[in-house]
Structure 1
Amino acid sequence: MNLKEFSEKFANKIGGDYNEYDDNHSIFIVPLPDERFQTVIAKLVNHEKYNRKAVQVTSKVCRVTENIDYATLLEASKDFVHTNFIVEDDFLKVDTSIFLEHTDDKLIEEAIKEVAYTADEWEFKITGQDNF
């Protein structure tokens, strides 16, 4: 997968922006309703557990120091299609990973959008702000 080529096309398609971190990382600024934006990172990784190439998509929700009802988060996860919640580097994040052999550009686009919308929704529910 050529992440740079995909990122340019996707950012143009959604009216957003992206920055190429390196050949394996892209940072998207995804426009959302009500003039909100969400930063989403897509990176190509070797999934250590399965030793297969994957695209991992993440977005920050808030610091884990926020008053977070984890039971509510886990219950809400049952309604997600691609995404789930993770805690990484002292942040609550929305995350998804897809094996490259089972994906195409359209599925990755859907995953990025779902990560952006879900992270923004829960960021607002938890903090009442638009920080990330």
Structure 2
Amino acid sequence: MAEGHLPDMNSELVLSTRSGALFGHYAPARLDGWFERVHPDDRQTLRQGMLACVKGSTETACCQMEFRLEVTSGEYRWFLARYEITRDGRVRTSHLLCALRDIEVGRQQSAMLEVSMLRFQLTLETIHDALWDMGELRA
């Protein structure tokens, strides 16, 4: 890999056996195939984040990002990726290690909680009006 640059997109990927559960028979063999599975809206942000990590000056650099990946079913799911980049002598990037964690369920639960909290807040803000209207009806 060139100094301060992303790895060659033709770089071979070494995937764990668990990656088969995510990608099935279509597991990417090269880095460009992996980037093709990243949601189009997330690709540029992912590239910029990885590039910032690669441009670091320490022997080992770590970063993490959230983005959507296309899985075997064809749907996009949210993942948390943790990257570790190692350099040979603090100059050239020699290895890029990535660990993925499926966070789709957690993101869905957070969204549902946010909606629930908004409904509760709106109820609190308008309950006084409803109680006042009920008093007017009784009078």
TM-score greater than 0.5 by the shorter chain: no
More strand by share: 1
TM-score between the two structures when normalised by the length of structure 2: 0.30
Which structure: greater helix fraction?
2
After TM superposition, the score normalised by the length of structure 1 is 0.31
The structure number with the bigger radius of gyration is: 2
